Structure 1
Amino acid sequence: MSIEATIRDKLERALRPTRLDVVNESHLHTGHRSSPGTGESHFRVRIVSDAFTGKSRLQRHRLVNETLAAELKGKVHALALETHAPSDVSD
């Protein structure tokens, strides 16, 4: 399973989002000194979940980081997060 698929699967199971966008941005970092060059190292996640209701931005980010702890310790070099409760968005 790809890192992108793993991220999606773990977040869906743990946080049951109403919206989840996982974007692989690794190609934007090709050739950077700190980039591992794996093609799956830099991701942007936009997630909307009831689990974030009443939580601060820091608490929301911690929930995501805890869910993806193994990936963040290993193959994922950078993770940009947009975390929202359903009441935060007006899709």
Structure 2
Amino acid sequence: MTVLIDPPRWPAHGRLWSHLVSDASYAELHAFAAANGVPERGFDHDHYDVPQERYRLLVTAGAVPVEARELVRRLTDAGLRRPKRDRRGR
């Protein structure tokens, strides 16, 4: 059971963002996020989007830093990956 975080490289809203996931369960992910002040509104399908400013805090709290490809691979291997639908609903 591990909560993973990728480097803050994803630009949006004038900031860089990381993704926070669990390779075990959504319950673990939600509990970790709640315990570390990550707002529920940051949850996006199968991960939390977290701003660059929170990266070090989350790593200190126990999130394991991994590259984005590793994060997606582990999320997929755990059966927790939920691909987004395109804007046409596919």
What's the TM-score once normalised by structure 2's chain length?
Answer: 0.30
Higher fraction of helix:
1
